Amino acid sequence: MSTFLLVHGGWHGGWCWARLAPLLEAAGQTVLTPDLPDHGDDHAPAPSRPWERYVSSIVAIARARPEPVILVGHSSGGIIISEVAREIPERIAALVYLAAFLLPPGATPREVIGPESESLLTEAIVVHPEAGVTTIRPDLARAAFYHDCSDEDAAWAIARLQPEPIIPPGPGDDDEPRGEPAILRVYIETSEDRALPPTVQRRMHAELPREAVYTMATSHSSFLSHPERLAEILLDIGEHVEEGV
């Protein structure tokens, strides 16, 4: 059996895995769904949530496990899991990028999406430079993130979105973890995604050394709209990890 450490994306919290985690647990897996520092139910002032604390929080959780974890990052969580793998590659059984960012060196998510991708996320984001955070316009949140979710699930998620610190440029995802063999890497693309369009996802993962690409015909939030199919994919990845493939 595998241990899945699920890392949420921007503006979200560990709550976003509420439909998915029980399905994995019912299959006998161990599932960890932490909030990144001061996310979730802790509505701390935005300046107390510096981006730099995110990676160290996930590193600490992975190090505390007796076994290597399958690290799943959604959206900007992809940036986090790449950084975690660079720090503790020996504690990572696999990296799974779920509609996630894979940044070239020195790039930011906004630059990678680009102005011509037709991403609704670029319209939905409101930048507050004086506070160093971004927020999501409530009137565009459903169209950007949850268009294939039920009305109830979309409203539930939108009510929980929080300000997010502006993401600084990163070292890039084309670097292998330092001094270790390449980690199994898998990408799950979402072909109906209006936040991170599939053309952008494919452009990013095309240059990433990876063992497999799965495709889901879903929005950016497959964990809410199609958790059963997402669970099947993750369990399949877990089986390959167990088999050492």
The structure tokens listed for 137 are 């316009």
Which amino acid is located at 2 in the chain?
A: S
Tell me 19's DSSP state. T
Q: Please tell me which residue in 75, 82, 221, 225 is annotated as part of the active site.
A: 75
Q: Does the annotation count 48 as an active-site position? A: no
Positive or negative: CA dihedral 55, 58, 64, 70: negative
- Dist. CA 74–CA 226, nearest whole Å: 14
Asked if 227 and 149 touch (Cβ cutoff 8 Å), the reply is no
Rg of the chain in Å (alpha carbons): 17
Asked if 155 and 181 touch (Cβ cutoff 8 Å), the reply is no
Between the CA of residue 149 and those of 124, 218, 226, what are the distances in Å?
Answer: 18, 9, 8
Q: What does the DSSP assignment read for 176-240?
A: PPTTSPPPPEEEEEETT-SSS-HHHHHHHHTTS--SEEEEE-S-S-HHHH-HHHHHHHHHHHHHH
Q: Give the residue numbers annotated as catalytic, written as ranges.
A: 75
